[in-house]
C-alpha cells in the first residue's frame, strides 16, 4: 500500500491479499445488489405470464407451470379495463409534452444564458424559486384553473400545464452556459442573428443533451400519476397509469392481466431508457447537476 | 404559443421615431430577442405555476367550500383549523417519519453504490444500468409489484416465502397498522425506484474530484476509509447538499406509492397519510379549497425554512 501510487480512484493497488479481498467483497456486494434490483422485474414477468389460478395458490413458484401468453389478448379484450385507450392517451401526452418542453425550455434556456438582458438574473431567481415549491401547493389552484378553462377530463388539461418545466429550463441554461462562445460569435459575425445562431449552430450541437432532457421528460410524463389522477377524470382522458391504478384497487382483480398490463406499460420505456441512458449520464456530468 | 416558437422571426421594427419603443427593444433589438426566446416559457410559468400559487394564498384566507371565487374573508381561521386538525398534524408526523427513514437511507446507499460502481472496471456499465433501470419504472407499477407480489399477505408472496424459510409465519405486510410493517413496504419501493438516479448524481460528483488528491492521500498512506472520510466525502459537498435537498423535496411530495400501496377501493386507511394524500382528500374529495390551500401554504413554509437552513449550513461550511 505504501509504495503504491494511485493515479485514479479506481486504480488497482499492488496485488496484495488485502486488495484482492477488497475486489472480491466489492464484486460480491455489487452482485447481491444487482440481484435485489432485478427481483421486481422478475416478479413482474413471472406474474404477467402465469395462469390466473396459479397466482392465488399458496405455494411459491419460481416460474409459471405453463406460460400463459393468452393474458395479453385477455387484457386487451377486457371491456372493464380501457388499457388500449390508456396507452394511446399516454403516448400522445408524453410525446407532445416532450416535444413542447424541449422547444420551449431549450429556447428559454438559451435566451437566459446568452442574450444580455437587464432583468435576466431576476427572472432566473424566480424560475429557480418555483423549483422549491412543491406540487402540493399548486395542484389545488391548478385544478381550479383547469376547471375554469373547462379542461378537466381533456387531453389539453393533461398536456398544457406540463409544458412549462422550470427544471428543464434551468438545465438547458446550465448547458448553454458551458457551450463554447467562440462558435456562436463566429456565427454572428457571419451575419446570423440570435435565431439563426440558435437553430443552425447551437441546436445541432446540443443533440446529445437534448436527447437526455427529452428522455427524462418522456419518462416523467409517461409515469406521472398525481396530475393525471386529478385532471384525467373521464374514461376518455385516463392515462395508462390511472388505468393501472384503478385496476389495482378494484375488486375481483384479475392479477395476471393486471401484471400483463404493467408489463406492457413499462416495456417500451425500459427499452428506450436502455438506449438513451448514455446521454442522461453525460448530461448529468456536463451540467454539473448537483455540483458547482 | 406555438406560433411564437415555430413561426418566423419577428420583423425588426426600426423604431427610429419613438425613443420609448427604442428603449423597450433594447440595443440591437436584444430585449425583443430575449422575449422571443424566453417569453413563451415565462408566460406559461406565470399562468400555470405562479398565478396558481398566489391564488392558493388568496383562497387560504377565505371560506372556500365547493367554490373557488370566495366572497367571505376569514383571516387566519383556515390556518388555525388546519393546525388544530389532528389528521393534518398526523400527516406532518407521517412526513417527518418518512423523511427520517428515506432521506438518510437513500443518501447512504446511493453513495455506496456510486463508490462501488466507480471503482469497478469489469462490467461497470452493466452494474450501472441495472441500478439505474428502475428509474424508468413508474410508482404505480412498482406499487403493484410490491403490493400484490413482493409483500402481499398471501403465503406465496416473496416476503412470506423468505419468512417461512426462517421459520416465521406468513404475515399481512400492508393491511395492519400494528406493527407498522407497511413502512418497510413503502420505503423499499421508493428506494428501488430512486437509488439509481442519485447514484448517477454521485458518480458525476466523484468524477469531478481531482486525481491528485487521491495521489496525495496514497502517499500519506491513508486507508481506504480515511481516504473516503477526508478526501472523497468533503470533495462531494456540493453534490451532497443537492442530493439531500432533492431527497427532502421528493419525500415531501410522496403520493403515488402511498395511494397505490395502501389505498383501497372504498378509500384510504386512517393512518400513514402523507401531506399530499391528506390534501388530496381535503381539497378534491371534500372540495374545501380554503383549508386545502392553507395546508399547502403551511407545508411550503416548512419546506422553504428547511431549504434555507440547509443553504445556510452549506455556506457556513464553505467559509470554515
Determine the residue among A147, A248, A253, A280 to mutate to test chain B binding: the one whose Cβ has the most chain B Cβ atoms within 10 Å. Answer: A248
* Three-state SS at B61: coil
Residues B133 and B88 in one domain: yes
Classify residue B211: in a domain, yes or no.
yes
CA-based nearest residue in chain B for residue A36 = B192
B267 within domain boundaries? yes
Helices (H) and strands (E) in chain A, counts: 14, 0
Residue A20 CA from chain centroid, whole number: 38
State the pLDDT at residue A89. 93
Q: Which of B32, B60, B88 is the last residue of a domain?
A: B60
All three cell numbers of A5, joined, read 501510487
Q: A107 to chain B: which residues are within 8 Å by CB?
A: 5, 37-38, 40-41
Per-residue model confidence (pLDDT) at position A86: 92
Q: How far apart are CA A201 and CA B60, in angstroms?
A: 48
B212 belongs to a structural domain: yes
Residues of chain A with pLDDT > 70: what percent? 92
pLDDT of residue B266: 76
pLDDT tens digits, one per residue of A190-237:
888 888 888 888 888 888 889 989 998 999 999 999 889 888 888 888
Task: Name chain B contacts of A145, Cβ cutoff 8 Å.
Answer: 47-48, 51-52, 55
* A and B: number of Cβ contacts within 8 A: 320
- Of residues A110 and B12, more confidence is placed in A110
Q: Supply the pLDDT for residue A15.
A: 54
Instruction: Tell me which residue in B50, B55, B130 faces A130 most closely, judged by beta carbons.
Output: B50
pLDDT computed for residue B77 by the predictor: 87
∠ CA B203-B208-B214 to the nearest 5 degrees? 100
Report, as an integer, the average pLDDT of A131-137: 72
Question: How confident is the model over A229-252, as a mean pLDDT?
Answer: 86
Q: Which of A4, A7, A137 sits opposite B296 (nearest CB)?
A: A137
The CATH number linked to B171 is 1.10.3720.10
- Is residue B37 domain-shared with residue B91, that is, in the same domain? no
* Cβ-based contacts of B113 with chain A (< 8 Å): 33
**Where does chain A hold its CATH 1.10.3720.10 domain(s)?**
74-287
The whole domain housing B27 covers 2-60
- Å from B179 to nearest chain A CA? 23
A8, pLDDT greater than 70: no
Cell of B8: 418566423
Q: Tell me the average pLDDT across B301-319.
A: 73
- Which DSSP category does A8 fall into? S
Position B67 in a domain: no
Alpha helices, DSSP H, located in B119-207:
124-132, 139-145, 158-165, 182-207
Q: Same domain for B267 and B155?
A: yes
**Both B51 and B199 in a single domain?**
no
One domain for residues B103 and B170: yes
B307 vs B300: CA distance, rounded Å:
10
Question: With a CB-CB cutoff of 8 Å, which residues 164-203 of chain B face chain A?
Answer: 192, 196, 200-201, 203
- pLDDT value of position B317: 57
Query: What value does the mean pLDDT take over residues B306-313?
Result: 78
A-proximal residues of B, 105-124, CB under 8 Å: 113, 116-121
Bridge partners, residue B65, by sequence: B288
Residue B11 pLDDT exceeds 50:
no
Question: Is a pLDDT exceeding 90 seen at residue B154?
Answer: no
Strand partners, B267: B264
B 36-75 residues with CB below 8 A of A? 36-38, 40-42, 44-45, 47-53, 55-56, 59, 68
H helices of A133-180, in order, are 135-149, 155-159, 166-177
User: Are residue B130 and residue B257 in the same domain, yes or no?
Assistant: yes
> Do B105 and B236 belong to one domain?
yes
In this structure, is residue B72 part of a structural domain?
A: no
Nearest C-alpha in B relative to A128: B45
Query: Quick check: is B73 in a domain?
Result: no
Residue B194 has what pLDDT?
93
In chain B, the residue whose alpha carbon lies closest to the alpha carbon of A223 is: B138
The model's pLDDT over B204-247, given as tens digits with 9 standing for 90+, comes to 888 888 888 888 888 888 888 888 888 888 888 888 888 888 89
A290/B239 touch (CB, cutoff 8 Å), yes or no: yes
Gap between the Cα atoms of B197 and A277, Å rounded: 11
Confidence at A1, pLDDT banded by 50, 70, 90: very low
CB within 8 Å: A9 and B118: yes
What pLDDT is recorded for position A10? 46
Query: Domain A74-287 is in which class?
Result: mainly alpha
Together in a domain, B228 and B148? yes
Band the pLDDT of A133: cuts 50, 70, 90: confident
Distance of CA B124 to the CA centre of its chain: 28
* d(C-alpha A66, C-alpha A46), whole Å: 11
* pLDDT beyond 80 at B310: no
> Same structural domain for residues B17 and B127?
no
**How does A37-67 read in b/e, with b if 16+ C-beta sit within 10 Å?**
beebbebbebbbbbeeebbeeeeeeeebeee
Residues of B in contact with A99 (CB under 8 A): none
pLDDT average, residue stretch B99-127: 92
pLDDT 10s digits, A149-164: 888 888 899 999 999 9
Residue A16 has pLDDT above 90, yes or no: no
Whether pLDDT at B3 is above 50: no
State phi, psi for B227 to the nearest 5 degrees.
-60, -45
Most B CBs within 10 Å: which of A13, A57, A141, A249, as the mutation test of the B interface?
A: A141
> Are A10 and B56 in contact (CB < 8 Å)?
no
| C-alpha span between A77 and B87 (Å, rounded) | 42
> How far is the C-alpha of A287 from the C-alpha of B2, rounded, in Å?
27
Question: Torsion over CA of A11, A290, B126 and A69, rounded to 10 degrees?
Answer: 170
pLDDT digits (tens, 9 = 90+) for B86-111: 988 999 999 989 999 999 999 999 99
- Whether A107 sits inside 8 A of B5 (CB atoms) is yes
d(CA A153, CA A160): 13
Residues B46, A140: contact at Cβ < 8 Å? no
B69 within domain boundaries? no
Average pLDDT value over all residues in chain B: 84
Structural domains in chain B (count): 2
Per the DSSP assignment, residues forming a β-bridge with B288 are B65
Give the nearest partner residue to A30 out of B52, B127, B138, using CB atoms. B127
Burial of B164 (0-12, 13-18, 19+ CB in 10 A): middle
ipTM summary value:
0.87
Judged by CB atoms closer than 8 Å, whether chains meet at A111 and B33 is answered as yes
Q: How far is Cα B46 from Cα B61, in angstroms, rounded to an integer?
A: 22
Interface check for B260 against chain A (CB to CB < 8 A): the answer is yes
How confident is the model over B261-282, as pLDDT tens digits? 988 877 888 888 898 888 888 8
- Judge whether B234 lies within some domain: yes
Alpha-carbon distance A144 to B289, whole Å?
9
Question: Could you give the angle at the alpha carbon of B259 between the alpha carbons of B154 and A133, nearest 5°?
Answer: 150
Residue B273 phi, psi dihedral angles, 5° rounding: -100, 110
Do B25 and B98 lie in one domain? The reply is no
- Do B45 and B184 sit in the same domain of this protein? no
Amino acid at each position: 500500500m505504501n509504495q503504491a501510487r494511485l493515479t485514479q480512484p479506481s486504480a488497482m493497488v499492488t496485488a496484495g491479499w488485502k486488495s484482492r479481498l477488497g475486489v472480491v467483497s466489492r464484486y460480491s456486494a455489487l452482485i447481491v445488489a444487482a440481484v435485489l434490483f432485478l427481483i421486481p422485474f422478475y416478479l413482474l414477468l413471472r406474474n404477467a405470464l402465469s395462469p390466473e389460478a396459479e397466482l392465488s395458490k399458496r405455494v411459491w413458484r419460481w416460474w409459471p407451470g405453463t406460460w400463459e401468453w393468452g393474458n395479453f389478448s385477455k387484457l386487451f379484450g377486457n371491456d372493464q379495463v380501457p388499457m388500449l385507450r390508456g396507452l394511446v392517451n399516454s403516448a400522445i401526452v408524453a410525446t407532445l409534452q416532450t416535444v413542447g418542453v424541449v422547444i420551449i425550455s431549450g429556447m428559454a434556456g438559451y435566451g437566459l444564458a446568452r442574450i444580455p438582458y437587464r432583468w435576466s438574473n431576476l427572472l432566473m431567481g424566480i424560475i429557480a424559486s418555483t423549483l422549491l415549491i412543491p406540487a402540493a401547493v399548486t395542484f389545488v389552484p391548478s385544478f381550479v384553473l383547469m376547471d375554469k378553462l373547462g379542461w378537466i377530463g381533456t387531453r389539453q388539461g393533461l398536456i398544457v400545464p406540463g409544458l412549462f418545466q422550470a427544471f428543464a429550463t434551468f438545465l438547458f441554461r446550465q448547458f448553454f452556459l458551458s457551450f463554447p462562445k467562440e462558435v456562436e460569435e463566429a456565427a454572428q459575425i457571419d451575419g446570423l442573428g440570435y435565431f439563426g445562431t440558435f437553430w443552425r449552430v447551437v441546436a445541432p450541437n446540443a443533440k446529445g443533451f437534448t436527447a437526455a432532457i427529452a428522455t427524462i421528460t418522456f419518462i416523467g410524463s409517461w409515469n406521472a400519476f398525481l396530475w393525471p389522477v386529478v385532471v384525467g377524470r373521464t374514461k376518455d382522458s385516463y392515462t395508462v397509469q390511472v388505468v393501472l391504478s384503478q385496476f389495482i384497487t378494484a375488486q375481483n382483480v384479475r392479477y395476471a392481466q393486471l401484471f400483463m398490463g404493467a408489463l406492457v406499460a413499462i416495456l417500451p420505456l425500459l427499452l428506450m431508457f436502455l438506449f438513451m441512458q448514455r446521454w442522461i449520464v453525460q448530461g448529468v456530468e456536463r451540467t454539473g447537476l448537483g455540483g458547482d | 404559443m406555438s406560433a411564437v416558437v415555430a413561426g418566423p422571426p419577428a420583423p425588426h421594427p426600426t423604431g427610429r421615431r419613438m425613443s420609448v419603443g427604442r428603449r423597450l427593444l433594447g440595443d440591437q433589438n436584444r430585449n425583443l430577442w430575449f422575449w422571443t426566446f424566453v417569453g413563451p416559457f415565462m408566460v406559461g410559468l406565470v399562468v400555470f405555476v405562479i398565478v396558481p400559487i398566489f391564488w392558493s394564498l388568496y383562497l387560504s384566507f377565505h371560506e372556500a367550500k365547493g367554490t373557488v371565487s370566495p366572497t367571505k374573508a376569514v383571516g387566519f381561521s383556515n390556518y388555525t383549523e388546519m393546525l388544530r386538525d389532528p389528521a393534518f398534524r398526523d400527516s406532518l408526523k407521517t412526513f417527518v417519519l418518512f423523511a427520517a427513514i428515506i432521506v438518510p437511507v437513500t443518501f447512504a446507499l446511493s453513495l455506496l453504490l456510486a463508490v462501488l460502481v466507480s471503482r469497478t472496471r469489469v462490467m461497470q456499465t452493466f452494474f450501472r444500468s441495472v441500478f439505474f433501470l428502475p428509474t424508468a419504472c413508474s410508482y404505480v407499477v412498482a406499487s403493484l409489484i410490491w403490493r400484490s407480489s413482493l409483500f402481499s399477505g398471501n403465503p406465496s408472496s416473496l416476503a412470506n416465502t423468505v419468512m417461512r424459510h426462517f421459520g416465521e409465519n406468513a404475515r399481512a405486510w400492508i393491511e395492519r397498522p400494528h406493527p407498522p410493517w407497511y413502512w418497510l413496504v413503502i420505503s423499499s419501493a421508493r428506494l428501488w425506484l430512486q437509488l439509481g438516479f442519485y447514484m448517477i448524481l454521485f458518480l458525476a460528483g466523484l468524477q469531478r474530484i481531482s486525481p491528485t488528491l487521491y495521489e496525495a492521500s496514497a502517499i500519506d498512506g491513508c486507508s481506504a476509509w480515511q481516504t473516503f472520510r477526508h478526501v472523497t466525502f468533503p470533495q462531494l459537498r456540493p453534490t451532497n447538499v443537492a442530493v439531500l435537498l432533492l431527497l427532502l423535496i421528493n419525500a415531501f411530495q410522496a403520493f403515488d406509492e402511498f395511494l397505490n400501496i395502501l389505498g383501497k377501493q372504498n378509500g384510504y386507511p386512517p393512518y400513514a397519510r402523507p401531506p399530499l394524500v391528506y390534501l388530496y382528500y381535503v381539497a378534491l374529495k371534500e372540495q374545501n379549497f380554503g383549508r386545502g390551500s392553507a395546508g399547502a401554504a403551511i407545508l411550503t413554509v416548512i419546506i422553504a425554512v428547511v431549504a434555507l437552513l440547509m443553504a445556510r449550513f452549506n455556506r457556513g461550511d464553505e467559509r470554515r
